[in-house]
Structure 1
Amino acid sequence: MAKATKKQALGRGLSALLKDPTNDIKSVADKNADKVVGSIVELDLGSIEVNPFQPRTSFNEESLRELASSIKELGVIQPITVRKLDFNKYQLVSGERRFRASKLVGLETIPAYIRIANDQESLEMALVENIQRQDLDPIEIALSYQRLIEEISVTQEELSDRVGKNRSTIANYLRLLKLDPIIQTGMRDGFISMGHGRALINVEDLSDQLDIYEKILSQNLSVRDTEALVRGYKNPKENSKPQKASAPPFAKKAKRELTDLFETSVAIKVSKSGKGQLVVPFKSQEDFERILKLIKSEK
């Protein structure tokens, strides 16, 4: 408890330092910057603005209330990260859920790490940290990867090194952005999984995608069912192949009995008219004579 009190007191001391206009810290080269950058500082919630680069665009209200209840009971355990914009003005890099939940509880200050960075560095920090730590939905992750590639100008291979993910994993997420926007929304809202989305990507026509999407919802299709349905859309001839007729009950029963009797796999084929064939395979002349003897003994 003493350590926590000392840390809070230190945070308040650094907070006071940041509120001194005569010694405003604007870069890592300024006096006392080394005391602030990388340290936990208690910042006024009113001095922090939301990061426009934040990939998460929606927050589950119930989970937010649960986090607020935890913060009310235990405080903010993991500090947020901000970057300094101006005198006593900061912008979120990561930790928006903690920031919002703290406001719900009515806190006036929040512990924060301060970083001094330009917009591009801030964007990269926000997106990379959120991809690694936040429970983003697949579309939010895909959008984050896309923004890193476009705005930071990195290749998928370079991005793979930065976020610690396989290039194929990144490519699979980016492909989700080819889905119809309605399907993307359904994935973000949890109506379908990423597995469903990956199956639907293989259907190029967006109207066909939506047809399958509606069937997934109405019939509660699994990912495997969806994959089979997609194959049918891509190869309609496969669905038109005649299905093998199921043998009638009497033939199935006879097949089991004769297989046991002859100790060999008997085949029975029956047409729609009721006509059919009985095939009893044998491995050698000796095996044939054995089967023939069994048939004669059954007379």
Structure 2
Amino acid sequence: MSDPTAARPAPDRGGIRVICNDRSGRNSREAEAIDRAMKVLGPEAALYHVKGRDIAETARQAVRDGCATVVAAGGDGTIMAVASALKGSDSALGVLPLGTFNFFARGYGIPEDPERAARIIAGGHSQPIDLGTVNGRVFLNNASIGVYPAILKERETVYRRWGRRRIAAHWSVLKTFWRFRRPLKVELEANGTRRRFRTPLVFAARSAFQLDHFGLQGADCIREGGFAVFVAPDEGRLGLMSDAVRLAVKQMRLGEDFELICTDRMTIHLKRRRQLVACDGEKFTMEGPLEFEMVRNAFRIITPHHADEAVA
């Protein structure tokens, strides 16, 4: 009997729909990348430029229309929005990486070159994917509470004033660390135990590639089908800055700079009723408690043939 979850060609349901954030394609690099990819995909592929808030609904409509492949053209935020719409469907996810880091795509061996990525999409070779969720919201690489969502919030303010520059992003980190004075008081329930923490950051990772990139432990937790959960100690502002430096030089210390918990299900109980949560670089306000769980075989992702055993 054949394994229904084994890698196989994408089902012949018809058509490829490429969904791109309308902010993408405005600069020459992204416009050229999309154009090169569309030439490879050919006339059966239709390109949709939509506003960020409309990406998920556009992907859901593609599923309703019977598209065999729905392509997310963009960074991890765009991919996350499309993935959330494909959960439980028969449509396969194609990825055209246009982000800065592209951890999700790189974890599956999907090249950042648009023509090579498009050829993989056209080939239609797919494999099942497990997804992490927090309160039902899909995330691909990570979800967190504490200082990182605060950095994203501050970064928006800095970008509005100074523009989207790398130095502005670094400044938003330093500014947030300096102002961050109230660590979270949480109770974390996982693996049959419930523990209390006073912490500036709880970070649930689902990308083994990302952890390897930063020299962090925990990739085995992910490869075994769960989350690698990092809980930072409450060391104040100087401790946060020290941790940022250690992370940059890949010298984070297990047991000193963070505690690692491996689990496939977790509940975070909070003092606050509503909490800002970061998912793959996007932020959302959620009602507590925060329920983290895995969704097995959520849908299929198109990958290179050699990536059957890769885990993002």
Is the TM value for this pair above 0.5? no
Higher helix share: 1
Higher strand share: 2
What's the TM-score once normalised by structure 2's chain length?
Answer: 0.27
Bigger Rg over Cα: 1
